[in-house]
Amino acid sequence: MINVAIDTNILVYAENVHEKTKTAAALELLEKLPGETTLIPMLALGELYRVLMAKARRSAAGAREAVFRWGDTFPLIEVSSSVVMAAVDLAASHKLFIWDAVILASAADAHCRLLLSEDFQEGFSWRGVTVTNPFASDRHLLLEALLKDQ
């Protein structure tokens, strides 16, 4: 099976925050992906909480409920010291924001082949993980294959 990591922005859309036109597409995507091989980096849940509180103006209880629901829906990728150190190296060498680098390094550590995100350059690849935008009109071939198998 192919492991896929989900970036924060996909969860934010699924929670009906920002570009509300993408909510249905995000929910459909998350429903179609295989649950056992679709992983969420812990940092993405932390970022989701921050967005729900700061931008969506949800209550702390409401934001917590959403984070816990996503954490119960998909397996989580822990952030280890080696992931943080790899992320620092990645951020410095590729001029990425540190938090984006932590999410990508987490995906690599979990042996993911794809990171679904809009926050990186399409097709950017690092340590076996390729970043792809799941909302693009031309989806990555591996993502298409995963969605067709479901």
> With pLDDT > 70 as the criterion, what percentage of the chain qualifies?
99
Rounded-to-integer distance, Cα 74 and Cα 58, Å: 22
Number of domains in the chain: 1
- In this structure, are residues 71 and 45 in contact, taking their beta carbons and an 8 Å threshold? yes
Residue 1 has pLDDT above 90, yes or no: no
- What DSSP state is assigned to residue 140? -
Number of neighbouring beta carbons within 10 Å of residue 71: 14
- In this structure, are residues 78 and 115 in contact, taking their beta carbons and an 8 Å threshold? no
Residue 116 has pLDDT above 70, yes or no: yes
pLDDT of residue 150: 62
What is the CA angle 112-7-71, rounded to 5?
85
Rounded-to-integer distance, Cα 15 and Cα 118, Å: 16
What's the CATH code of the domain at 64? 3.40.50.1010
Lowest-confidence pick of 18-27, 95-104, 108-117: 18-27
Span 22-51, average pLDDT: 96
Identify which has the larger pLDDT, 121 or 111. 111
Lowest-confidence pick of 15-29, 48-62, 121-135: 15-29
Q: What tens digit of pLDDT does each residue of 60-106 get?
A: 999 999 999 999 999 999 999 999 999 999 999 999 999 999 999 99
Contacts of 68 (CB under 8 A, 6+ apart): none
- What DSSP state is assigned to residue 112? E
Span 111-123, average pLDDT: 94
- For 113, the domain range is 3-149
pLDDT of residue 108: 98
Which tokens belong to 14? Answer: 């699924």
